Amino acid sequence: MTHIREDILGAQVSAVNMDMVLAELDSWLVERSPHYICVTPAHSIMDGYRQSDLRKIFNASGLTVPDGMAIVWILKLKGHRHVQRVYGPDLLIAASKHGLEKGYRHYFYGGAPGVPEKLVQKLSVDFPELQIAGISTPPFRPLSAEEDEEIIQEINKSDADIIWVGLGAPKQEFWMQAHLGKLNAPIMVGVGAAFDFLSGNKAQAPLWIQRSGLEWLFRFAHEPKRLWARYSQYPKFVLLIFLSFIGVAKSKA
């Protein structure tokens, strides 16, 4: 399945909606070919704008999907009326439901201690037939080569089809790129805070706030110290997007 990508400040973002992403998952699982998905809001685009190595990871992905209404609106302004937000928590739920009949096996990597377990417990209530391949909660420090190899072996022994990576951006993007081809599971998806939201560990913004494009403000109000550096980039993001539309700002390779 082919899909169009549009340049947003150097990141090649996939002009897709949820149904298109699920169809792509099916295709990759039939092929058993390795891919990763970057779930990308505006602050990640800004991180990639500053960091060429991260930008390359976005652009080498199987999909870099619009996780954030600002990215959706930009893609629609570029003529892609079918585009919808592919929000990390929604994608995890949609793929879990979508894969029930096909028997897809899911592995959950990341999150704080106890969070993946709570997430899996909730998913198992909502989807009793969901196949859980395993859970790993790595420490909040770089792993040694030996520890990383143990994780690879553990995941490979699980016969997982999809690995949900909840390490937070951009750590999860670097992890997926580094492990592409080392894992038997054909698909890795970086879903940021989805583990926290779906497990109930953190509050999600109400749906109307999500749709309004103000979810960042809701999250900032709940975690101002942690998220200040992330969301203080947004005025520059808006300026750069405006300049790119009028042909002043140049894209980064």
**pLDDT tens, residue by residue, 43-78:** 999 999 999 999 999 999 999 999 999 999 999 999
Helices 234-245 and 69-77, axial angle in degrees (round to 10): 0
**5-8 and 131-136 as β-strands: parallel, antiparallel, unpaired?**
unpaired
Q: ∠ at Cα 191 (185, 193), nearest 5°?
A: 140
Separation between Cα atoms, residue 65 and residue 83, nearest integer Å: 10
In contact, 37 and 21? CB cutoff 8 Å: yes
Q: What is the pLDDT of residues 167-212, one digit of tens each?
A: 999 999 999 999 999 999 999 999 999 999 999 999 999 999 999 9
**11-14 and 5-8 as β-strands: parallel, antiparallel, unpaired?**
antiparallel
Separation between Cα atoms, residue 244 and residue 104, nearest integer Å: 41
Separation between Cα atoms, residue 39 and residue 135, nearest integer Å: 20
